[in-house]
Amino acid sequence: MRNIARGLASAVAILAMSGCGAAAGGRATASASPAATSGPCAVLLLNWESGPAWARFQKLIADLNNTGSSGASLAALQSHADAAAHDSKVLLTEMPPACVLGEDTDLAAALRHFIAAASDIDMGGASDLLAGAKEFKAGSAAMTRASADFLHAAG
């Protein structure tokens, strides 16, 4: 069990750095979006970026990185995954403006995968940890697509 938890923590660290780092970099690019630099969308985007949602998004990335650095402790892994799930649940209610990402976003899919991963990890069994790792991987892929959404909005 300890080796599975250590392996999952390592996998999450790699996924968090590859997927979420790209999404975090998307913020500045999204600000330069032609659609977002003028008109009502610009105001909505600036409000989102300067509000609590952006800070929560940064906290989610930190929590995902902490999940990946949990080491062999199942309790630490569960705690960090639960924190990431909490951040994800809050962010689902504070999504970026639809004029940037559209209604059905990859970001929402990523957040749902992170919530599911924490639920699996909380179960604590070997198969649950593996299921959690798969959810984190799917969340990372969706986060990478969300980053591309921001880049696409930038034209």
Query: How far apart are alpha carbons 99 and 125 in whole angstroms?
Result: 42
User: Helix 52-68 vs helix 2-15: angle between axes, to the nearest 10 degrees?
Assistant: 140
Reported confidence tier of residue 7, pLDDT bands at 50, 70, 90: very low
Domains of the chain, residue spans: 2-153
Note the pTM of the prediction, 2 decimals. 0.71
Query: How far apart are alpha carbons 16 and 22 in whole angstroms?
Result: 9
Tokens of 74: 């199942």
The string of pLDDT tens digits covering residues 86-123 is 999 999 998 887 776 655 578 899 999 999 999 999 99
What sign results for the dihedral spanned by CA atoms 28, 34, 36, 38?
A: positive
Q: What is the DSSP string of 84-109?
A: HHHHHHHHHTSPPPHHHH-SS-HHHH
pLDDT higher than 50, residue 20: no
Reported confidence tier of residue 26, pLDDT bands at 50, 70, 90: very low
